[in-house]
Amino acid sequence: MKKILLATNNSHKVDEISHILKDLGYEVLARDQVYKGDFDVEENAPDLKGNALLKAQALSNLVGSKYLVLADDTGLFVDALKGEPGVHSARYAGDQHNDEDNKKKLLQELKEVNEGARTAAFITVLALVQEGKAPVFIEGRLEGHIALEEKGSAGFGYDPLFIPKDYERSLGQMSPEEKNQISHRHKALEKLALYLQGAKTNED
């Protein structure tokens, strides 16, 4: 069985990816199941693709060729702000990665923008690295708009401010199961499953 090592210790990501890939013969592992040392990658690339690759490549260099290594990076891109906060989404209000401050800053930046012009998209980019092969990049995207105020308290980050297209509720008002069915990351992971299915077929 081939093993996919995630550049994260997030158990929710492990469970979600395992569920999507369960019938493809891949075992999904959290980083600390294989590598228990320090792992602090400076995410200084200019885009999501670059940051995802930095994390995946760094871990692949540490663990060697036995594993496929998968990393992701996500950003919120607001049209009225010319794509901001974008690649800086997690530290929009400073390097502290404070969700509350990030949300306050976003609402402040959009205070003069009417609801119809507050379109935005959540984007996740996956980077899949295997020694001796070119990296593979996969994108998932969720279109929507930024609410005038927070709605709901579920989820994390900007979820209470983001209302997906064709929905009236924010991600912060959805159950984890409902959010996962439509999320940008889930869409990217479904594409990953299709890619791996094709790769597996070509190897057989």
Of 15, 32, 40, 73, the catalytic one is: 73
User: Which residue do the tokens 């959009």 mark?
Assistant: 110
Contact 109, 115 (CB under 8 A): no
Q: Is 40 a catalytic residue?
A: no
- CA neighbours closer than 13 Å in the CB half-sphere of residue 185: 18
Cα torsion angle, 103, 105, 110, 111, sign: positive
Residues belonging to the active site: 73
